[in-house]
A and B are shown apart, each in its own frame.
Chain A
């Protein structure tokens, strides 16, 4: 099999630029998504069913429809009325954040509900309010349990950011496709992109493992 390394060298600066944007999109998606996810997860846990309903449907919509459609919708229908023009990077960040928030909300809910009911009762009997008990007793314990599924979600998010290539956000996969389109060779660009994605996800994995070890109490 002939593998044209020279083409990869030629495209290396573009892959580098694309990788930076991919990292940017992923970090923005993770940070905004985690924040929104926490709010939505707590919203869904509300005892008032009517108040919890919108949060429920938020999760249903963003988990139940393809991310590709969400990206196209946000790029061509949601962002233009606000900015007057399309903006692929903004659209990608919004789509990734909103989408991951739905998954992260469920991770938060599962984490919180996995904490024994007695913890809340004990905290309340010590005179804490519900919010205090959540903040100081339940969430710190729940967070430890959420790390593995959150890591899973972040890795998925990094890879899903490649869908932004559809709306011509110049991230990693976009340059892979551009290179493919120029030379009509599939393996050089796509395998290069795959290796870079692997490095990104492995780095994230490394960080999460360290975090997990630091949080371990035993």
Chain B
């Protein structure tokens, strides 16, 4: 273990040297700290890659927040699983990736104040017998692994039920539904609504069940005990208050945000 530490610190130093050699170091002026932001850029319109560049609502939002908080940021696409490895190991400072604030996650990480309201919805073929969340019992449900959609489905079907199929991403889960391998998909409302809007001729319909599925809030993810949290909390509130949030929301999600529901949580 000790040897590993020596090796890794040597690698770290080498890496830092390479990095500092690359950076155009500007001396003088007010020194802004650069924080490393990681994301899983596979979740349009929140974060995705546009010709290799990471873009989306979350990305514009974190840029606005960082500006408000007085930090420079460097956003990097690392994938979903690595986000949690990097934040836990403190190799990244912040993650923004439509990450829902949950108690389980709070055991290991810190979250900012909520910046986005979301809920799970059920995607089914038109004419399906499933009319509410309770109807999912005994049906085969496809979800994206590690999402709150999975947790919502597990609350009904039972944890690690054999009727639950966990996929790498929502696209594969929906494909499974399309090929009759599943009866329903449970995922964030933004995902299923966007899917139905983009594919109107596939005869899917969305079922809302506010009684069964809890309200969810996205937050910025920090390592436990991060010093950045205070600054970014303040900045998140400011960006929501000064109208920048509503502007970005409209630009990326094509509708107006429910700001009151966010403020109730802060």
Contact = CB atoms under 8 A, between A and B. Distances in A.
B9 interface: no
Interface string B151-175: 0000000001010011110001001
Given A80-B181, A86-B180, A186-B85, 5 more contacts: A85-B181, A86-B179, A88-B181, A180-B81, A180-B145
B150 interface: yes
A144 interface: no
B176 interface: yes
B138 interface: no
20 contacts: A14-B160, A80-B181, A85-B180, A86-B181, A87-B181, A88-B165, A166-B168, A167-B167, A168-B166, A170-B162, A178-B166, A180-B145, A180-B146, A183-B104, A184-B104, A184-B105, A185-B84, A185-B108, A186-B81, A186-B85
Given A166-B168, A168-B166, A186-B81, A178 B145 contact: yes
A80 B81 contact: no
B236 interface: no
A182 interface: yes
Interface string A163-189: 001111010001001101111111000
Interface of A: 14, 72, 76, 80, 84-88, 165-168, 170, 174, 177-178, 180-186
A80 B146 contact: no
If over half of B's interface residues share one DSSP class (helix, strand or loop), that class is named, otherwise mixed; here it is: mixed
Given A166-B172, A186-B84, A186-B85, A181 B166 contact: yes
**Range of interface residues on B (Cβ < 8 Å):** 20 to 34
B105 to A, nearest CB: 6
Contacts of A185: 84, 88, 108
B172 A80 contact: no
Contacts of A165: 168
Interface of B: 81, 84-85, 88, 104-105, 108-109, 142, 145-147, 150, 160, 162, 165-168, 172, 175-176, 179-181
A168 B180 contact: no
Nearest to B80: A181
A1 to B, nearest CB: 8
A182 B145 CA distance: 8
A80 B181 CA distance: 8
A184 B89 CA distance: 13
A164 B84 CA distance: 23
Contacts of B179: 76, 80, 85-86
A183 B168 CA distance: 16
